[in-house]
Each structure stands twice: as structure tokens, then as C-alpha cells.
Chain A
């Protein structure tokens, strides 16, 4: 399978995953928006919330980097700049996905 087809399919699969996870997030944010620090911590310590939030970060950062890549490919004509921007966004997304999961684990274990 060529890279382009792989990206196209990944963008659609992550979109379907986000459909469920972003809806869950929207409902959750509405429920916890007036919570105190301790209440928010105990919300995140529930296994289902921690799992869904981690999955949300994975699929959303994937969907974001694929989406921004298409935008960059469409509007940035300088090939070198284009490649640099795409690599930066991908690295940045990976970094934030790993960091967010570590932060969620930190809250579960140490709070």
C-alpha cells in the first residue's frame, strides 16, 4: 500500500475514533467544568476516563498531524520548507502524545 493511501485511510480511521472520543470528551467536559482540583483528579483516576483520555490524545494528535500535513502540502510551495514543517508537526505530535500519557499515568499513580 502506498504512503498516500495509508495516510488517507489513517485520516478516516482516526476520524471515526474521534467521533466517539470527542463526543465523550465534550460530555465529560460539560460534567466536570465546575469541579474543584480534587474532583477533577478523582475524575481522571477512574480507569475508563484515563483510558478514554489517553486514546483521545493518541487519535486526535494523529488526526491533527495528518490534517495539518494536507493543509501544508496544499498551500506551501517551497518543498524544503514544506518538508521541514511536516516533520516538525509530526515530531511535536509524537512528543505531546507520549508526554500526555506519562502525565495521565503520573496522576493515576501519585495523586
Chain B
């Protein structure tokens, strides 16, 4: 096990983390702004994959599938937030139940619409090769995921940090009451953030569909990972989500390589300990 081997593991962990960032950043933002525990987040991811597939089947264009799927899921998220979540308020229990109900509905609908076969999204051929960098075989698709997630992460950060709209969002996250006090329409901010979160999840789904496959059950398989990212990184923190995603990706990867026997625990046990020590996550704020 030489340096090349470890470098490869790091690369694998981080690139997996890139996908998790897309998934987790949305969840983190949603929680930060709205204090909502969205148990349907995995469903948005899965629906994004399925919609992406449909776009590819009808138009043959993978490139088109990405924005269309992301936007479609954003719309779904918007509707759910507007019509349902808004009415539920900030009670986490009711959010849990409501979003879980939606997760069940989405799951059955996906099964009825797209059937139960395992499917895969096929990206353009040039992305399915691998390049040899410093003697390491690196799949181009993973590099792509890394690049895309970084770009999106940067855009989000710039948006939050440098724009007026971003300042509005940050104000709402920090102290919603105060924000309302200075005239910010927090309910509009909530709605947009939820749509953004859903968009990111849907985007993650189309990108992830080539990597993880598209199948009934993916929604609940990916959900704990999304929560792991947000728990580690702290809810409401974008930077935290990035770090959380990288940590989860690395821990998951190294856990499987070094301790294959207990791969189910390498993720959850540390989570428990972390939450016990710092219940708001590494970078969370109250």
C-alpha cells in the first residue's frame, strides 16, 4: 500500500464527497433557513435521477437533462413548501411526519411511473473514460463531479457572501425575527431556499444517477448520508456542508478499505459520538 494507493483513496473519498455536497448543501440550507427536517430530501434526489432519465430518453441529450431535472425538482419543492410545509410551522415532529408522508408518496409514484427496474444514466462517452495522472487511474466522471460541485459550491458561497440576496438569506438564517424586523420578507426567503435545496438535490440526482444508478429505494439509501453530511457540518452552514461532505466521503471510503467488517458502523458510530459531544454539529449554530 504505497503513497499512490492512499492518494487514490483520498481522491475517491473526496469525489464521492462532491456528490454528497450537492445533496447535503441543499438540506443544510433548508434547515438553516427554515429549521425543517426534510425526510423527503432523498426522494428529491431520486426524482431528479428519474426526470433526468426521461429527458435523456425523449431528447437524447444528457446535457439538457441536468438543468431540466434540477428545475423540475425545484418546482416540486416549491409546491410542497408553499402548499404544505408553510402551514406546518416549525414543529420538527410535524415536519418529520409530513415530509416522510411525501417520501412515501413520491416513492410509490416513482415506482408507478418509471417501473421497478434498476436503471442507469449514461453520460457522454468522453466522461466515461479514465485518465492517468501521476500513475493513477482516475475516472473522468469523478473529476467532473468534483469540478461541478466545486463550481456550484463557489457560486453558492459567492451568492451568499457577496450579493444582497445572499445577505438577506444569511440574515434570515441568523435571526429570522430580527430579519423580519428590518423588513425582510422571510417567508419569501424560505420558499426560495427550499426550492434551491430541492434544486441541488435534483441536480445531485442527475449527476449521481450515472454513478449510483437509479432504482427504487435509492431515496432511503441516500437519506442517512445526506443527514450525516449535515450533522457533521452543522445545519445552516454551507462551508460546514462542504467539510461534512468531504469528511463523510473520506470516512466512508477509508472505512470500507480499512475496516470492511464493520462498514455499517464506520459512519453511524462516529456520528453519535459527534452529536453527543456537539449536538449542533461541527459548524452548526443555534
Asked if A and B are interacting partners, one says no
- A-side residues, CB < 8 A to B, are none
Chain B residues within CB distance 8 Å of chain A: none
